[in-house]
Amino acid sequence: MTPRHLILGLQHTVAMFGATVLVPLLTGLNPSVALFTAGVGTLVFHLVTGRMVPVFLAPASPSSPPSWRPRRRASL
């Protein structure tokens, strides 16, 4: 393992944390659900592709609340 591998692994970890934990926290969703569905999606992807492509599927924008969700109105 080279220092380059360590740097790339750290970068990947930071990116996946933002997509899998931070986005649900910011949008009011449960991060546990995002982690679970990311894991299930990754397992299904590996089953379908025969483990030919290394990938981790993380929810990013699909985990945001629907646009039809009522928003709070600011009080004047």
Pick from 10-14, 41-45, 61-65: least confident: 61-65
Tokens coding 24: 């649900």
pLDDT category of residue 75 using cuts at 50, 70 and 90: low
Would the pLDDT of 63 be above 60? no
Model confidence over 28-59: pLDDT tens digits?
888 888 888 888 887 888 888 887 766 665 55
Task: Compute the C-alpha angle 22/28/30, nearest 5°.
Answer: 70
Is the sign of the CA dihedral 61, 62, 68, 74 positive or negative?
A: negative
Tell me what percent of the chain is helix, strand and coil, each rounded to the nearest 5: 60, 0, 40
pTM above 0.75, yes or no: no
